[in-house]
Amino acid sequence: MLSNGSRNGLDTLEKMDWVPIVLGTFKVLVFGTGMFFAIKWHYERGRTGKEKQGAVLRAGGKVAAVFVLSLLGISLLTLGLVRMLGLDLTFP
């Protein structure tokens, strides 16, 4: 049998089950709205200056390449540090 104290704990857990769903939905709505207006704003700005579009794409490509290379470097550095410390990274 459950005592009153443990039942209240279960009620709290049951009430908290909906929190990630609500917050996740809110996050998707906020980011989706922000992305919609960002794409719309960039599209409208792109209509006025077609000559700048190539430069923007090249700059975006450079930023993406630097990000990927940085991510690769940090991953390799982390892997080297983990192996140096002798940590086990195998999956069970």
In the chain, where are the structural domains located? Answer: 1-48, 50-92
Q: What is the pLDDT of residue 50?
A: 63
Provide the 10 A C-beta neighbour count for residue 14: 9
pLDDT at 87: 87
Q: pLDDT tens track of the chain, all 92 residues?
A: 445 555 666 666 677 778 888 899 999 999 999 999 998 888 887 766 666 667 778 888 999 999 999 999 999 999 999 999 988 878 76
| DSSP letter for each residue of 32-87 | HHHHHHHHHHHHHHHHH-GGGHHHHHHHHHHHHHHHHHHHHHHHHHHHHHHHHHT-
- Residue 23 to residue 30: CA distance in whole angstroms: 10
Structure confidence at residue 1 (pLDDT): 46
Q: Between the CA of residue 1 and those of 4, 5, 14, 52, what are the distances in Å?
A: 10, 12, 18, 72
